Amino acid sequence: MTKMKKHQIDDAIKYYREIGKLAFKSNINQNSVIKNSENNESKLLKMMAEDRAKISRYEIVIDMKQREVDELNKKNTDLLWEAGKLQVRNGKLQEYKDNNEKQLAYYEKSLKNMIRNKKDN
Give residue-wise pLDDT tens across range 38-74.
999 999 999 999 999 999 999 999 999 999 999 999 9
Return all residues near 12 (Cβ < 8 A) that are at least 6 apart: 4
| Host H or E run for residue 70 | helix 6-120
pLDDT band at residue 121 using 50, 70 and 90 as cut-offs: low
Model pLDDT for residues 91-107, shown as the tens digit of each residue: 999 998 888 888 888 88
* Mean pLDDT, the chain, integer: 90
Tell me which amino acid residue 34 is: I
Strands, E assignment, the chain: none
SS3 105: helix
**CB burial string 4-28: b at 16+ within 10 A, e below:** eeeeeeeeeeeeeeeeeeeeeeeee
Higher pLDDT, 2 or 41: 41
Q: Report the pLDDT value the prediction gives residue 68, as an integer from 0 to 100.
A: 98
Query: What DSSP designation does 1 have?
Result: -
Q: Do 4 and 12 form a contact (C-beta atoms < 8 A)?
A: yes
Whole-prediction pTM: 0.51
Contacts of 4 (CB under 8 A, 6+ apart): 12
